[in-house]
A = this chain, B = another copy of it.
């Protein structure tokens, strides 16, 4: 078994750490995740974690991985309304029901009092997600279904903002009725 040497780290250790971190967030929540706990569950030395990750949020950030891309790439259905309804519904489900959604909320929460994490989260995962969120709008513009001078930044905030607000701030449920009506109103602007 590969156990690490000067020409490369142990892939086994890396995977074990990320899985342990993921499990612990799901089981005990963000506060229940400790470097000590990750190390114990992963069967790994603490030093191995500190060698590769500056802090536990970095572990979670990496464990989070491509979950956003996997869950939140909007479908290409040929109709703006259909695409937005589906995308917002998936977003709501992701945020409120999935394990990676819980990790995402934990990270965004932590980012409120950790500027460093905030910066990395935003230039990384969030920036890429924003580009994905933009896709249905860009396609609609190309088809001529939306005005060519559309402010896509604002439009994206109009769509995903209310969903995030419900989840992160008010904690209310986000049923399909909510996201569908949100899209209907959005399209009523033109």
A contact set with B: CB distance below 8 Å: 29-31, 105-106, 108-114, 118, 122, 126, 130, 151, 154, 157-158, 160-166, 168-171, 178, 181-182, 185, 188-190
Whether A154 contacts B178 in the complex (CB less than 8 A), given A31-B113, A112-B109, A189-B189, comes out as yes
- A164-B168, A185-B189 known; 7 new pairs, CB 8 Å cut-off, are A29-B113, A30-B112, A105-B113, A109-B113, A157-B162, A164-B164, A188-B189
Query: Do B170 and A30 have beta carbons less than 8 Å apart?
Result: no
Query: Do A122 and B170 have beta carbons less than 8 Å apart?
Result: yes
For residue A127, which residue of chain B has the nearest CB?
A: B170
The CA of A165 and the CA of B88, in the complex, are separated in Å by 14
Select which of B110, B165, B188 is within 8 A of A165 by beta carbon: B165
Interface on chain A toward B: helix, strand, loop, or mixed SS?
helix
Report the minimal beta-carbon distance from A96 to chain B, rounded to whole angstroms.
12
Query: Do A158 and B154 have beta carbons less than 8 Å apart?
Result: no
Q: Which residues of B lie under 8 Å from residue A157 when comparing CB positions?
A: 162, 165-166, 182
Q: Which residues of B lie under 8 Å from residue A130 when comparing CB positions?
A: 170
The CA of A166 and the CA of B169, in the complex, are separated in Å by 13
Report the minimal beta-carbon distance from A124 to chain B, rounded to whole angstroms.
12
Query: Do B169 and A108 have beta carbons less than 8 Å apart?
Result: yes
The CA of A97 and the CA of B139, in the complex, are separated in Å by 37
The CA of A178 and the CA of B156, in the complex, are separated in Å by 12
The CA of A111 and the CA of B30, in the complex, are separated in Å by 11
Q: Which residues of B lie under 8 Å from residue A169 when comparing CB positions?
A: 108, 126, 164, 168
Query: Do A158 and B171 have beta carbons less than 8 Å apart?
Result: no
The CA of A151 and the CA of B122, in the complex, are separated in Å by 33
